[in-house]
Structure 1
Amino acid sequence: MPLTPTPARPAQKISAENFRFLCDAIYKDSGIVIDESKHYLVEARLNPLVRTEGLDGLDSLCNLIRAVSGAKLRGRVVEAMTTNETLFFRDVKPFDSLREVVFPELFVRKKLERRIRVWCAACSSGQEPYSIGMLWRELALPGWDLQILATDLSDDILAKARAGSFLQLEVNRGLPAKYLVKYFERDGSNWVIKPEIKQLIRWEKFNLLDSMSRLGPFDLVFCRNVLIYFDQQTKARILAGIRGRMNRGAYLFLGASETTLNLDETLRRTVVGPSVAYQNPE
Structure 2
Amino acid sequence: MTPTEYEFLKRFLKERSGLVLSDDKQYLVESRLVPVARKNGIDTLSALVMSLQRGGNAMLANAVVEAMTTNESFFFRDKTPFEHFTNIMMPAMLEKRASTRSMKIWCAAASTGQEPYSLGICLKEAAHKVAGWRIRIVGTDLSSEVLEKAKAGIYSQFEVQRGLPIQMLLKYFSQQGDLWQINPELRAMIEWRKLNLLENFSHLGEFDIVFCRNVLIYFDQQTKIDILQRIAKMMPEDGFLVLGAAETVVGLTDAFQPVPGQRGLYQPKQAAEAKAAPRLAMASSFSLK
**Which category of TM-score, normalised to the shorter sequence, fits these structures?**
over 0.9
235-244 or 35-44, which deviates more: 35-44
- 1:84: which partner in 2? 71
- 2:173: which partner in 1? 184
2:195 corresponds to 1:206:
yes
- Provide the secondary structure at the position in 2 that maps to 1:99: helix
61-70 or 261-270, which deviates more: 61-70
Could you tell me how far apart the structure 2 residues matched to 1:230 and 1:189 are?
Answer: 37
The aligned amino acid for 1:78 is: V
- 1:100: which partner in 2? 87
Q: Residue 267 of structure 1: CA displacement? A: 0.4
Gaps in structure 1 of 5+ consecutive residues: 1-13
Match of 2:236 among 233, 236, 247: 247
The aligned amino acid for 2:264 is: V
- 1:235: which partner in 2? 224
The aligned amino acid for 2:224 is: K
The aligned amino acid for 1:165 is: I
Do 1:97 and 1:275's aligned partners in 2 also have CA atoms closer than 8 Å? no
Could you tell me how far apart the structure 2 residues matched to 1:193 and 1:275 are?
Answer: 29
Could you tell me how far apart the structure 1 residues matched to 2:139 and 2:62 are?
Answer: 20
- 2:46: which partner in 1? 59
Q: Which runs of 4+ in 1 moved over 4 A?
A: none
2:23 corresponds to 1:36:
yes
Distance 1:74 1:276, change over 3 A: closer
Could you give the per-residue CA deviations for residues 116-140 of structure 1, whole angstroms, max 9, x where no partner exists?
Answer: 1000000000000000000011113
The aligned amino acid for 2:114 is: Q
Could you give the per-residue CA deviations for residues 213-235 of structure 1, whole angstroms, max 9, x where no partner exists?
Answer: 21221110000000000000000
The aligned amino acid for 1:34 is: L
Do 1:122 and 1:151's aligned partners in 2 also have CA atoms closer than 8 Å? yes
The aligned amino acid for 1:51 is: R
- 2:34: which partner in 1? 47
2:200 corresponds to 1:221:
no
Do 1:110 and 1:116's aligned partners in 2 also have CA atoms closer than 8 Å? yes
- 1:278: which partner in 2? 266
- Provide the secondary structure at the position in 1 that maps to 2:162: coil
2:149 corresponds to 1:165:
no
- Provide the secondary structure at the position in 2 that maps to 1:271: coil
Could you tell me how far apart the structure 2 residues matched to 1:248 and 1:137 are?
Answer: 26
Q: Residue 54 of structure 1: CA displacement? A: 2.9
**Alpha-carbon RMSD:** 1.2
- Provide the secondary structure at the position in 1 that maps to 2:202: coil
The aligned amino acid for 1:139 is: A
Identity of aligned residues (%): 44
- 1:133: which partner in 2? 120
Q: Residue 35 of structure 1: CA displacement? A: 1.7
Could you give the per-residue CA deviations for residues 95-114 of structure 1, whole angstroms, max 9, x where no partner exists?
Answer: 01111111011111110111
| Total equivalences in the alignment | 268
The aligned amino acid for 1:117 is: K
- Provide the secondary structure at the position in 2 that maps to 1:218: coil
Could you give the per-residue CA deviations for residues 26-79 of structure 1, whole angstroms, max 9, x where no partner exists?
Answer: 111111111211111111211111222232221111112223432220111000
- 1:10: which partner in 2? none
- 1:71: which partner in 2? 58
- Provide the secondary structure at the position in 2 that maps to 1:84: coil
Could you give the per-residue CA deviations for residues 222-260 of structure 1, whole angstroms, max 9, x where no partner exists?
Answer: 000000000000000000111111111111000001000
The aligned amino acid for 1:279 is: Q
Distance 1:148 1:44, change over 3 A: same
Do 2:244 and 2:264's aligned partners in 1 also have CA atoms closer than 8 Å? no
Could you tell me how far apart the structure 2 residues matched to 1:275 and 1:113 are?
Answer: 29
